[in-house]
Homo-oligomer: A and B are copies of this chain.
Protein backbone atom coordinates (compact mmCIF):
# COMPACT_ATOMS: atom_id res chain seq x y z
CA UNK A 1 0.00 0.00 0.00
CA UNK A 2 1.26 3.43 -0.87
CA UNK A 3 1.81 5.94 1.93
CA UNK A 4 -0.99 8.39 2.82
CA UNK A 5 -0.94 11.88 1.38
CA UNK A 6 0.48 14.24 3.98
CA UNK A 7 -1.40 17.48 4.43
CA UNK A 8 -0.58 20.42 6.68
CA UNK A 9 -3.74 22.14 7.87
CA UNK A 10 -3.04 25.80 8.63
CA UNK A 11 -6.17 27.67 9.77
CA UNK A 12 -4.34 31.01 10.15
CA UNK A 13 -6.36 33.99 11.37
CA UNK A 14 -9.93 35.19 11.74
CA UNK A 15 -12.51 33.24 9.79
CA UNK A 16 -9.69 31.01 8.55
CA UNK A 17 -10.06 29.34 11.95
CA UNK A 18 -13.80 28.92 11.43
CA UNK A 19 -13.83 27.60 7.88
CA UNK A 20 -10.81 25.28 8.24
CA UNK A 21 -12.67 22.64 10.33
CA UNK A 22 -15.46 22.55 7.74
CA UNK A 23 -12.98 22.11 4.93
CA UNK A 24 -11.39 19.30 6.88
CA UNK A 25 -14.77 17.67 7.50
CA UNK A 26 -15.66 17.62 3.80
CA UNK A 27 -12.23 16.49 2.65
CA UNK A 28 -12.11 13.67 5.21
CA UNK A 29 -15.58 12.52 4.26
CA UNK A 30 -14.73 12.45 0.54
CA UNK A 31 -11.41 10.72 1.17
CA UNK A 32 -13.14 8.05 3.21
CA UNK A 33 -15.77 7.47 0.64
CA UNK A 34 -13.32 7.15 -2.27
CA UNK A 35 -10.58 5.36 -0.37
CA UNK A 36 -7.93 8.06 -0.29
CA UNK A 37 -5.51 7.83 2.62
CA UNK A 38 -4.80 11.26 4.11
CA UNK A 39 -2.69 12.23 7.09
CA UNK A 40 -3.26 15.68 8.57
CA UNK A 41 -0.92 17.76 10.70
CA UNK A 42 -2.55 20.82 12.20
CA UNK A 43 -0.30 23.86 12.49
CA UNK A 44 -0.94 26.95 14.58
CA UNK A 45 1.76 29.15 13.16
CA UNK A 46 1.56 31.27 10.00
CA UNK A 47 -0.90 33.32 12.02
CA UNK A 48 -0.98 36.65 13.79
CA UNK A 49 -1.65 34.83 17.07
CA UNK A 50 1.74 33.19 16.66
CA UNK A 51 3.27 36.53 15.72
CA UNK A 52 2.03 38.16 18.91
CA UNK A 53 3.75 35.49 20.97
CA UNK A 54 6.94 35.03 18.98
CA UNK A 55 7.51 38.22 17.00
CA UNK A 56 7.66 36.25 13.75
CA UNK A 57 4.94 34.68 11.68
CA UNK A 58 6.59 31.28 11.53
CA UNK A 59 9.29 29.29 13.33
CA UNK A 60 12.80 29.25 11.85
CA UNK A 61 12.45 25.69 10.64
CA UNK A 62 9.09 26.20 8.89
CA UNK A 63 10.48 25.00 5.63
CA UNK A 64 11.79 21.74 7.03
CA UNK A 65 8.52 21.17 8.86
CA UNK A 66 6.50 21.59 5.68
CA UNK A 67 8.87 20.23 3.05
CA UNK A 68 7.75 16.65 3.51
CA UNK A 69 4.09 17.54 3.04
CA UNK A 70 2.20 16.91 -0.18
CA UNK A 71 -0.09 19.85 0.34
CA UNK A 72 -0.86 22.79 2.60
CA UNK A 73 -4.52 23.37 3.28
CA UNK A 74 -4.71 27.00 4.29
CA UNK A 75 -7.47 29.13 5.85
CA UNK A 76 -6.58 32.81 5.72
CA UNK A 77 -3.95 35.07 7.19
CA UNK A 78 -4.05 38.65 8.46
CA UNK A 79 -5.16 40.61 11.50
CA UNK A 80 -4.40 44.21 10.56
CA UNK A 81 -5.54 45.63 13.89
CA UNK A 82 -2.41 44.25 15.54
CA UNK A 83 -0.07 43.11 12.76
CA UNK A 84 0.40 45.15 9.56
CA UNK A 85 -0.68 43.25 6.46
CA UNK A 86 2.68 43.43 4.79
CA UNK A 87 4.30 41.80 7.85
CA UNK A 88 1.75 39.00 8.13
CA UNK A 89 1.52 38.28 4.41
CA UNK A 90 5.16 38.58 3.40
CA UNK A 91 5.99 36.53 6.49
CA UNK A 92 3.73 33.60 5.58
CA UNK A 93 1.54 33.26 2.51
CA UNK A 94 3.79 35.10 0.08
CA UNK A 95 6.77 33.14 1.44
CA UNK A 96 5.01 29.85 0.77
CA UNK A 97 4.13 30.88 -2.76
CA UNK A 98 7.67 31.94 -3.49
CA UNK A 99 9.87 29.57 -1.54
CA UNK A 100 7.78 26.53 -2.45
CA UNK A 101 7.79 27.79 -6.03
CA UNK A 102 4.00 27.64 -6.32
CA UNK A 103 4.17 29.46 -9.59
CA UNK A 104 0.63 28.80 -10.75
CA UNK A 105 -2.29 30.30 -8.89
CA UNK A 106 -5.34 28.63 -10.40
CA UNK A 107 -8.68 30.27 -9.65
CA UNK A 108 -11.93 28.99 -11.10
CA UNK A 109 -14.82 31.38 -11.66
CA UNK A 110 -18.25 29.83 -11.89
CA UNK A 111 -21.82 30.98 -11.41
CA UNK A 112 -23.85 28.44 -9.44
CA UNK A 113 -27.54 27.83 -9.52
CA UNK A 114 -29.02 29.40 -6.37
CA UNK A 115 -26.42 32.16 -6.04
CA UNK A 116 -27.80 35.58 -6.94
CA UNK A 117 -25.70 37.00 -9.75
CA UNK A 118 -24.86 40.72 -9.62
CA UNK A 119 -24.84 40.73 -13.43
CA UNK A 120 -28.24 41.17 -15.02
CA UNK A 121 -29.70 38.30 -17.00
CA UNK A 122 -26.85 35.82 -16.49
CA UNK A 123 -27.47 32.19 -15.72
CA UNK A 124 -25.23 29.33 -14.61
CA UNK A 125 -23.15 28.35 -17.62
CA UNK A 126 -22.64 31.95 -18.72
CA UNK A 127 -19.76 32.33 -16.26
CA UNK A 128 -17.43 29.39 -16.20
CA UNK A 129 -13.75 30.04 -16.68
CA UNK A 130 -10.36 29.54 -15.10
CA UNK A 131 -7.86 32.22 -14.18
CA UNK A 132 -4.20 31.22 -14.25
CA UNK A 133 -2.19 33.76 -12.31
CA UNK A 134 1.60 33.93 -12.18
CA UNK A 135 2.32 33.60 -8.51
CA UNK A 136 5.99 34.15 -7.71
CA UNK A 137 7.40 37.23 -9.46
CA UNK A 138 6.27 40.17 -11.64
CA UNK A 139 4.84 43.19 -9.89
CA UNK A 140 4.98 41.70 -6.39
CA UNK A 141 8.41 42.70 -5.16
CA UNK A 142 10.01 44.71 -2.43
CA UNK A 143 12.73 45.89 -4.79
CA UNK A 144 13.33 49.55 -5.35
CA UNK A 145 13.71 52.39 -2.94
CA UNK A 146 13.36 56.00 -2.08
CA UNK A 147 15.56 58.96 -2.93
CA UNK A 148 15.43 62.30 -1.08
CA UNK A 149 13.33 60.48 1.53
CA UNK A 150 11.16 62.70 3.67
CA UNK A 151 11.71 65.80 1.53
CA UNK A 152 9.71 67.61 -1.10
CA UNK A 153 11.92 66.03 -3.74
CA UNK A 154 11.13 62.47 -2.61
CA UNK A 155 11.11 59.90 -5.44
CA UNK A 156 10.10 56.29 -5.04
CA UNK A 157 11.07 53.56 -7.48
CA UNK A 158 9.26 50.23 -7.50
CA UNK A 159 10.66 47.45 -9.62
CA UNK A 160 8.78 44.59 -11.24
CA UNK A 161 10.80 41.56 -12.23
CA UNK A 162 9.82 39.14 -14.98
CA UNK A 163 12.02 36.21 -15.94
CA UNK A 164 11.71 34.13 -19.08
CA UNK A 165 11.82 31.06 -16.86
CA UNK A 166 8.96 32.37 -14.71
CA UNK A 167 6.87 33.68 -17.58
CA UNK A 168 7.23 30.78 -19.97
CA UNK A 169 6.30 28.14 -17.42
CA UNK A 170 3.05 29.82 -16.40
CA UNK A 171 2.17 30.52 -20.03
CA UNK A 172 2.88 26.88 -20.83
CA UNK A 173 0.63 25.75 -17.99
CA UNK A 174 -2.15 28.00 -19.28
CA UNK A 175 -1.77 26.88 -22.90
CA UNK A 176 -1.81 23.21 -21.83
CA UNK A 177 -4.90 23.84 -19.76
CA UNK A 178 -6.67 25.66 -22.59
CA UNK A 179 -5.69 22.90 -25.04
CA UNK A 180 -7.26 20.31 -22.73
CA UNK A 181 -10.65 22.03 -22.63
CA UNK A 182 -13.54 21.92 -25.04
CA UNK A 183 -13.36 25.55 -26.13
CA UNK A 184 -9.57 25.80 -26.39
CA UNK A 185 -9.61 29.51 -25.84
CA UNK A 186 -6.98 31.50 -23.99
CA UNK A 187 -7.14 35.17 -23.03
CA UNK A 188 -3.79 36.78 -22.28
CA UNK A 189 -3.93 39.88 -20.05
CA UNK A 190 -1.52 42.63 -21.01
CA UNK A 191 -0.95 46.37 -20.78
CA UNK A 192 1.71 46.76 -23.40
CA UNK A 193 0.43 50.18 -24.44
CA UNK A 194 1.20 51.69 -21.01
CA UNK A 195 3.59 49.52 -19.01
CA UNK A 196 6.10 49.79 -21.74
CA UNK A 197 9.02 47.50 -20.89
CA UNK A 198 7.66 44.37 -19.24
CA UNK A 199 4.30 44.05 -20.97
CA UNK A 200 5.42 44.18 -24.63
CA UNK A 201 7.96 41.53 -23.62
CA UNK A 202 5.26 39.46 -21.90
CA UNK A 203 3.24 39.65 -25.13
CA UNK A 204 6.20 38.44 -27.14
CA UNK A 205 6.58 35.42 -24.85
CA UNK A 206 2.88 34.64 -25.29
CA UNK A 207 3.26 34.93 -29.08
CA UNK A 208 6.23 32.60 -28.97
CA UNK A 209 4.41 30.04 -26.83
CA UNK A 210 1.33 30.24 -29.06
CA UNK A 211 3.35 28.79 -31.95
CA UNK A 212 3.47 25.46 -30.12
CA UNK A 213 -0.31 25.44 -29.63
CA UNK A 214 -1.91 26.11 -32.99
CA UNK A 215 -5.11 24.48 -31.71
CA UNK A 216 -5.58 27.18 -29.03
CA UNK A 217 -7.32 30.43 -29.99
CA UNK A 218 -5.41 33.27 -28.34
CA UNK A 219 -6.91 36.64 -27.49
CA UNK A 220 -4.59 39.30 -26.04
CA UNK A 221 -6.41 42.03 -24.13
CA UNK A 222 -5.34 45.09 -22.22
CA UNK A 223 -6.17 44.77 -18.54
CA UNK A 224 -8.45 47.82 -18.59
CA UNK A 225 -10.79 46.59 -21.30
CA UNK A 226 -10.40 43.01 -20.07
CA UNK A 227 -11.77 44.05 -16.68
CA UNK A 228 -14.68 45.72 -18.44
CA UNK A 229 -15.39 42.55 -20.42
CA UNK A 230 -15.47 40.43 -17.28
CA UNK A 231 -18.63 42.43 -16.60
CA UNK A 232 -20.00 42.92 -20.11
CA UNK A 233 -19.13 39.64 -21.88
CA UNK A 234 -18.29 36.93 -19.35
CA UNK A 235 -19.28 34.12 -21.73
CA UNK A 236 -16.27 35.12 -23.79
CA UNK A 237 -13.78 33.57 -21.34
CA UNK A 238 -12.46 30.04 -21.02
CA UNK A 239 -8.89 30.24 -19.64
CA UNK A 240 -7.33 33.60 -18.73
CA UNK A 241 -3.61 33.94 -18.03
CA UNK A 242 -2.19 36.98 -16.27
CA UNK A 243 0.80 38.36 -14.42
CA UNK A 244 0.83 38.33 -10.63
CA UNK A 245 -0.84 41.74 -10.16
CA UNK A 246 -3.27 41.49 -13.06
CA UNK A 247 -4.18 37.97 -11.96
CA UNK A 248 -4.79 39.22 -8.44
CA UNK A 249 -7.23 41.86 -9.70
CA UNK A 250 -9.03 39.58 -12.15
CA UNK A 251 -9.42 36.81 -9.59
CA UNK A 252 -11.31 39.07 -7.21
CA UNK A 253 -13.30 40.70 -9.99
CA UNK A 254 -14.30 37.43 -11.67
CA UNK A 255 -15.70 35.82 -8.50
CA UNK A 256 -17.49 39.09 -7.67
CA UNK A 257 -19.32 38.94 -11.00
CA UNK A 258 -20.29 35.36 -10.12
CA UNK A 259 -21.95 36.49 -6.92
CA UNK A 260 -19.42 36.65 -4.13
CA UNK A 261 -15.75 36.31 -3.37
CA UNK A 262 -16.88 34.21 -0.43
CA UNK A 263 -17.20 31.15 -2.67
CA UNK A 264 -13.98 31.39 -4.69
CA UNK A 265 -11.30 28.74 -4.16
CA UNK A 266 -7.70 28.78 -5.26
CA UNK A 267 -4.85 26.40 -5.85
CA UNK A 268 -1.26 27.61 -5.52
CA UNK A 269 0.53 24.96 -7.50
CA UNK A 270 4.03 23.69 -7.90
CA UNK A 271 3.04 21.49 -10.83
CA UNK A 272 6.29 19.50 -10.73
CA UNK A 273 5.62 18.51 -7.09
CA UNK A 274 9.09 19.39 -5.92
CA UNK A 275 7.40 21.35 -3.13
CA UNK A 276 4.01 21.19 -1.46
CA UNK A 277 1.20 23.05 -3.21
CA UNK A 278 -1.15 25.25 -1.22
CA UNK A 279 -4.94 25.41 -1.36
CA UNK A 280 -6.85 28.33 0.11
CA UNK A 281 -10.02 30.36 -0.26
CA UNK A 282 -9.61 33.66 -2.14
CA UNK A 283 -11.36 35.51 0.68
CA UNK A 284 -9.26 36.78 3.57
CA UNK A 285 -9.51 36.52 7.33
CA UNK A 286 -12.48 38.95 7.54
CA UNK A 287 -11.93 40.29 11.08
CA UNK A 288 -15.29 42.08 10.87
CA UNK A 289 -17.30 38.86 10.91
CA UNK A 290 -14.92 36.62 12.84
CA UNK A 291 -16.12 34.98 16.04
CA UNK A 292 -19.78 34.59 15.16
CA UNK A 293 -19.55 31.34 13.21
CA UNK A 294 -21.30 32.90 10.20
CA UNK A 295 -18.55 32.76 7.57
CA UNK A 296 -19.37 30.79 4.46
CA UNK A 297 -17.05 27.74 4.37
CA UNK A 298 -17.67 26.87 0.72
CA UNK A 299 -14.50 28.47 -0.65
CA UNK A 300 -12.48 26.44 1.86
CA UNK A 301 -14.33 23.24 1.00
CA UNK A 302 -14.02 23.81 -2.74
CA UNK A 303 -10.29 24.52 -2.28
CA UNK A 304 -10.10 21.13 -0.57
CA UNK A 305 -11.67 19.54 -3.63
CA UNK A 306 -9.01 21.15 -5.83
CA UNK A 307 -6.41 19.72 -3.45
CA UNK A 308 -7.64 16.14 -3.73
CA UNK A 309 -7.81 16.46 -7.50
CA UNK A 310 -4.25 17.76 -7.67
CA UNK A 311 -2.86 15.16 -5.27
CA UNK A 312 -3.88 12.31 -7.55
CA UNK A 313 -2.98 14.09 -10.77
CA UNK A 314 -6.58 14.76 -11.75
CA UNK A 315 -7.38 11.06 -11.92
CA UNK A 316 -8.94 8.15 -10.06
CA UNK A 317 -10.08 8.56 -6.47
CA UNK A 318 -8.90 12.18 -6.20
CA UNK A 319 -10.88 13.27 -9.23
CA UNK A 320 -13.92 11.34 -8.00
CA UNK A 321 -13.61 12.95 -4.57
CA UNK A 322 -13.29 16.37 -6.19
CA UNK A 323 -16.38 15.82 -8.28
CA UNK A 324 -18.39 14.55 -5.33
CA UNK A 325 -17.48 17.61 -3.25
CA UNK A 326 -18.35 19.99 -6.07
CA UNK A 327 -21.70 18.24 -6.59
CA UNK A 328 -22.43 18.55 -2.86
CA UNK A 329 -21.59 22.27 -3.05
CA UNK A 330 -23.91 22.65 -6.05
CA UNK A 331 -26.75 21.02 -4.14
CA UNK A 332 -26.30 23.09 -1.00
CA UNK A 333 -26.07 26.32 -2.99
CA UNK A 334 -29.25 25.44 -4.82
CA UNK A 335 -31.29 24.09 -1.92
CA UNK A 336 -29.71 25.55 1.22
CA UNK A 337 -28.92 25.82 4.04
CA UNK A 338 -27.45 29.29 3.47
CA UNK A 339 -25.09 31.42 5.54
CA UNK A 340 -25.95 35.13 5.98
CA UNK A 341 -23.78 36.24 3.02
CA UNK A 342 -26.25 34.40 0.77
CA UNK A 343 -29.34 35.58 2.60
CA UNK A 344 -29.79 32.69 5.05
CA UNK A 345 -29.21 32.28 8.76
CA UNK A 346 -27.28 29.01 8.88
CA UNK A 347 -23.97 28.87 10.71
CA UNK A 348 -20.57 27.97 9.29
CA UNK A 349 -20.88 24.60 11.00
CA UNK A 350 -24.36 23.87 9.70
CA UNK A 351 -23.27 24.57 6.17
CA UNK A 352 -20.18 22.42 6.56
CA UNK A 353 -22.25 19.57 7.92
CA UNK A 354 -24.77 19.87 5.12
CA UNK A 355 -22.06 19.65 2.46
CA UNK A 356 -20.33 16.73 4.20
CA UNK A 357 -23.61 14.84 4.50
CA UNK A 358 -24.11 15.05 0.74
CA UNK A 359 -20.69 13.72 -0.22
Q: A232: CB under 8 A from chain B?
A: yes
Chain B residue, CB-CB nearest to A246: B249
A residues 100-133 in Cβ contact with B at 8 Å: 116-121
CB atoms of B85 and A196 under 8 A apart? no
Residues of B within 8 A of A53 (CB): none
Chain B residue, CB-CB nearest to A117: B120
Q: A212: CB under 8 A from chain B?
A: no
Cα-based distance from A9 to B238 in the complex (angstroms): 41
**Given A155-B164, A194-B245; A146-B231 close (CB under 8 Å):** no
Question: Which of A13-21, A55-63, A254-262, A350-358 faces chain B?
Answer: A254-262
The smallest beta-carbon distance between A138 and chain B, in angstroms, is: 9
**Given A158-B198, A193-B89; A249-B231 close (CB under 8 Å):** no
Q: A141: CB under 8 A from chain B?
A: yes
Q: A180: CB under 8 A from chain B?
A: no
Contact among B119, B197, B229, B248 with A156 in the assembled complex (CB-CB below 8 Å): B197
Cα-based distance from A120 to B195 in the complex (angstroms): 34
Residues of B within 8 A of A156 (CB): 161-163, 197-198, 201
5 interchain pairs, CB-CB under 8 A: A85-B192, A117-B120, A118-B120, A227-B252, A231-B256
